[in-house]
Amino acid sequence: MSITPDAQPVRWVKSMYSGGEGGQCIEWAPDHACATGEFLVRDSKNPDGPRLSLSREGFASLVEFAKHHG
């Protein structure tokens, strides 16, 4: 896992596991993941803040965690 700066604009999608109240939302960049294999994740409340760069396995673990603890 690493924190990456913006290299180019990407399309962000809100996680379906994020709360509907708008408080605890994460977004990910599916097009970027398909093109590069790098899974970018950010806090939707801070879109200009840091992004996490995860491997496929790391992203899968994050999704599993969200399913069970969201």
Is 28 within 8 Å of 15 (Cβ atoms)?
yes
Indicate the domain borders of the chain: 2-69
Q: Supply the pTM of this predicted model.
A: 0.74
What's phi and psi for 42, nearest 5 deg? -140, 165
Cβ atoms within 10 A of the Cβ of 54, count?
19
User: Rounded to 10 degrees, what is the CA torsion of 38, 43, 23, 21?
Assistant: -40
Q: What is the chain's pLDDT, residue by residue, as a tens digit (70 residues)?
A: 555 555 568 999 987 756 656 566 889 999 999 999 999 999 988 999 999 999 999 999 988 988 888 6
